C-alpha cells in the first residue's frame, strides 16, 4: 500500500488536509471517503488497508471543522462549503486513478453529506455508499441546545457547543471506544451552522430525494442510537432506481469498527465490484 498525505489551500486560504492510499499496482477503482461528525480521516486507515488489499484506492478529506484541516473545531461557514470539499475530493480521486470507477463513501455526517451531494448535484460517478447516515438523529436533541444553536447561527455563527452524542453506542468493541476517547483529533463540538444544517439537510432528503442519479448503497445498524436506523429505512423506501438498503441487526453506529467489520467491508466490496 502506498500512502501519502497532503494539504491544499482553498480559495479562502484555509489549509485542507487529504490522505490517499493506493495499492502497489494499478488500482481497479477508487473510493472517495467522507468521515463523520467530530472525527477525521485518520480513523479510516484500516478501511483503506482493506480496500487497497482488494486493489481499490481510497482518498479522504478532513472536512471543515475536523481533523487537520485548519479552522474552528465543529464549525463550517455553510453546508455548501462541504459540497465544495466533496467536489474537490472527487476531482482528486479521478486524477489519482484515471479512467477507473470512482465511488463516493460517507459515514454518519459524511453519509448525509454524500447523499445531499448525490441528489443535489447528480455527479457522474460509479456509485455512492452511505453508512449510518445522519438523516435524522438517533436521539432527541435537547430543545434548549437547539434553541441556542438557532440563535447562535444568526448572531454568532462560529459559536460551538457539545454535540450530545452518546459514545456508548459507537461500537461494541471497547478498544474502539478507548482509542476514540484518546484521539487528540477527535472532538465533541458543533456549531449551529453544522448541527442544524445536518438536521435540515436530512429532512430535505426525506422530502426531496426521488430517483437516484447513481447506484446507491444504504446500510445501517438497527441498534444505532447516534443516527436513526428508521430514518435511513424510510429514506430507502422513498427512493427509486438502483438502490440497495441493508440492515445489520444488533449493531451500533460505526459498522466499520464493530467486531463484524470485515464481514461488513466485504459486503461493501462485493457491491462495489458489482457496480464497477
- Among 108, 132, 191, 228, the one annotated catalytic: 108
- At 20, is the secondary structure helix, strand, or coil? strand
Q: How many CA atoms lie within 13 A of 130 on its CB side?
A: 33
Instruction: Give CA–CA dist 118/116, Å, rounded.
Output: 5
CA dist 2 and 12 (Å) reads 30
Helix axes 192-208, 229-238, angle to 10 degrees: 40
- The single residue of 40, 41, 171, 224 carrying the catalytic annotation is 224
Q: Do the Cβ atoms of 220 and 232 come closer than 8 Å?
A: yes
| Separation between Cα atoms, residue 46 and residue 76, nearest integer Å | 27
Active site residue 228: no
Cell numbers standing for residue 167: 459514545
Q: Is 90 exposed, middle or buried (0-12, 13-18, 19+ CB in 10 A)?
A: buried
For the question of residue 253 being annotated catalytic, the response is: yes
Angstrom CA distances, 30 to 89, 129, 149, 253, stand at: 11, 13, 37, 24
Residues serving a catalytic function are: 108, 224, 253
Amino acid at each position: 500500500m502506498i500512502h501519502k498525505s497532503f494539504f491544499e489551500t482553498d480559495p479562502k486560504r484555509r489549509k485542507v488536509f487529504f490522505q490517499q492510499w493506493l495499492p502497489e499496482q494499478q488500482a481497479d477503482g477508487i473510493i472517495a471517503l467522507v468521515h463523520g461528525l467530530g472525527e477525521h480521516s485518520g480513523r479510516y486507515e484500516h478501511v483503506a488497508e482493506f480496500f487497497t488489499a482488494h486493489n481499490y484506492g481510497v482518498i479522504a478529506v478532513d472536512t471543515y471543522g475536523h481533523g487537520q484541516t485548519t479552522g474552528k473545531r465543529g464549525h463550517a461557514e455553510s453546508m455548501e462549503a462541504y459540497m465544495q470539499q466533496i467536489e474537490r475530493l472527487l476531482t482528486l480521486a479521478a486524477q489519482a486513478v484515471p479512467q477507473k470507477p470512482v465511488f463516493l463513501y460517507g459515514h454518519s455526517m459524511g453519509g448525509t453529506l454524500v447523499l445531499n451531494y448525490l441528489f443535489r448535484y447528480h455527479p457522474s460517478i460509479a456509485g455512492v455508499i452511505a453508512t449510518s447516515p445522519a438523516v435524522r438523529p438517533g436521539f432527541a436533541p435537547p430543545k434548549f441546545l437547539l434553541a441556542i444553536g438557532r440563535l447562535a447561527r444568526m448572531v454568532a455563527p462560529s459559536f460551538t457547543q457539545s454535540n450530545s452524542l452518546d459514545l456508548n453506542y459507537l461500537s461494541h468493541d471497547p478498544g474502539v471506544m478507548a482509542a476514540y476517547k484518546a484521539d487528540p483529533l477527535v472532538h465533541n463540538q458543533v456549531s449551529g451552522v453544522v448541527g442544524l444544517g445536518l438536521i435540515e439537510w436530512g429532512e430535505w432528503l426525506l422530502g426531496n430525494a426521488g430517483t437516484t442519479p447513481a447506484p446507491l448503497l444504504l446500510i445501517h445498524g438497527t441498534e444505532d442510537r447516534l443516527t436513526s436506523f428508521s430514518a435511513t429505512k424510510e429514506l430507502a423506501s422513498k427512493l427509486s432506481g438502483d438502490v440497495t438498503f441493508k440492515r445489520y441487526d444488533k449493531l451500533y453506529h460505526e459498522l466499520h469498527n464493530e467486531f463484524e467489520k470485515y464481514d461488513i467491508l466485504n459486503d461493501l466490496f462485493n457491491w462495489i465490484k458489482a457496480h464497477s
